[in-house]
Amino acid sequence: MTILSAPHLWPASRAGATLTVDLKAIAKNYRFLRDRVGTAVCAAVVKADAYGLGAEQVAPILEREGAKEFFVAHVDEGIALRQIVSPETRITVLHGPRPGAAAECVYFGLRPVLNSLEQIDLWKREAAREGAVQEAVIQLDSGMSRFGLSWADVRKLSDDQTLLDGISLGLVMSHLACADVPASEANQIQHQRFRDMAALMPAAPLSLSASSGIFLGTDYHMDLVRPGAALYGIAPNAELPNPLQQVVSLHARVLQLRDVEVGDAVGYGLTYRPEKPRRIATVAVGYADGFSRHNSGTGCAWLGDIALPIVGRVSMDSLALDVSAVPESQLHADMYVDLIGPRRSVDDVATSAGTIGYEILTSLGGRYYREYVE
């Protein structure tokens, strides 16, 4: 007997749901974004295992579309990605090196983002140790107070250029806090501050925008854009119809059907008490699969064109749907419903759970059967 040790190897026939990742849609989204930014370089952000979709499957598709620059958050993500992409493909590590990890960056050909004077010094010393100039990206804090050099740091660098000895500056970048709200004045303020700060740095290509920033206008494209979410089908902002292709669908298995009468209640806490008799389906997806408990009593699944409201609390391994609207002839245990599908996007699930599509994607669980469509 063969023992399957990795849950993702569960066959479709035994898994509680099938997660389908449409790699063609990712390719299309990349082409759309690249065409939109014209001459700017369109990099691809594949941190957090390509937002939960699988960097091993996603990165080669993006390379095939011509992506030559990838961004990850951690050095270890970079090391893993290095085994997947071609040696010429550039990998940039957003968090930069921790003390002790600079040599790994050099060894694995990872370009760090330097977010502080300490990281700049670390990289400078690594370059000296290697006896060769090392490329890096420097991030400036244009207003988000998260990563990057402050105004005071930038002044120190411009007063003393030897601080950058041994470092070749491949890119100067910053990140927008409110790019998903096109009308926010914070966007223009950050744009201006980034330009002002970058003017004090040695000349280098500039990058300010991730997915949402691409839709703020050509001023925001600069020399390189860093989309992640948009590649995976998440809407850049709530004002436009989403111009991107949906990438993910989630077909969940019905485990059991039951009738509940007036006076009965459904799920933990007995929070759902129907006012008329209902047909309830118990489905094999729960919060341990990343389908958050915040979906309790809100949102729906779909069977074709029929909406199936989520009722009661989401359990660890299951949730309940009101399937009363489905003709009896179409109902049976082992049938599948769409928790994410043509009628319900990742963004829709996020909205009803009070979060953002990013969190839905990066929480997708390890118990699904995963299917990649090419």
Ligand X SMILES: *Cc1c(COP(=O)(O)O)cnc(C)c1O
State the helix-helix crossing angle for 23-36 and 55-64, rounded to 10 degrees: 50
CA distances from residue 177 to 14, 22, 190 in whole angstroms, order as listed: 42, 29, 9
Residues from 308 through 367 that contact ligand X (CB under 6 A): none
Cβ proximity to ligand X, 45 vs 310, nearer residue: 45
CB atoms near residue 90 (< 10 Å)? 18
Stretch that binds ligand X, among 17-25, 220-228, 238-246, 318-326 (CB under 6 A): 220-228
Cβ proximity to ligand X, 30 vs 369, nearer residue: 30
Does position 119 bind ligand X by CB under 6 A?
Answer: no
Does position 45 bind ligand X by CB under 6 A?
Answer: yes
Does position 244 bind ligand X by CB under 6 A?
Answer: no
Does position 226 bind ligand X by CB under 6 A?
Answer: yes
Stretch that binds ligand X, among 34-42, 206-214, 237-245, 306-314 (CB under 6 A): 206-214
Does position 172 bind ligand X by CB under 6 A?
Answer: no
Task: Select from 143, 227, 357, 365 the one that contacts ligand X (CB under 6 A).
Answer: 227
Query: What is the rounded distance in angstroms from the CA atom of residue 16 to the CA atom of residue 285?
Result: 6
Token duo for residue 285: 């997806």
For residues 67 to 96, the per-residue mask of contacts with ligand X, x marking binding by CB under 6 A and - elsewhere, is ---------------------------x--
Residue 162 makes CB contacts below 8 A (sequence gap 6+) with none
Token duo for residue 260: 């509940």
Stretch that binds ligand X, among 53-61, 119-127, 183-191, 226-234 (CB under 6 A): 226-234
Q: Please classify residue 70 by burial: count the beta carbons closer than 10 Å to its beta carbon, then call 0-12 exposed, 13-18 middle and 19+ buried.
A: buried
Q: How far is the CB of 182 from ligand X (least distance, A)?
A: 14
Q: Residues in contact with ligand X, total (CB under 6 A)?
A: 12
**Contact (Cβ atoms closer than 8 angstroms) between residue 123 and residue 102:** yes
Residue 53 makes CB contacts below 8 A (sequence gap 6+) with 21, 26, 232, 247, 248, 361, 364
Cβ proximity to ligand X, 228 vs 267, nearer residue: 228
Catalytic residues: 47, 268
Cβ proximity to ligand X, 77 vs 338, nearer residue: 77
CB atoms near residue 344 (< 10 Å)? 20
Does position 115 bind ligand X by CB under 6 A?
Answer: no
Cβ proximity to ligand X, 47 vs 124, nearer residue: 47
Phi, psi at residue 20, to the nearest 5°? -105, 125
Q: Please classify residue 88 by burial: count the beta carbons closer than 10 Å to its beta carbon, then call 0-12 exposed, 13-18 middle and 19+ buried.
A: exposed
Task: Select from 111, 175, 278, 279 the one that contacts ligand X (CB under 6 A).
Answer: 175
Query: Which residues of this chain interact with ligand X, rule CB under 6 A?
Result: 45, 47, 94, 175, 210-212, 226-230
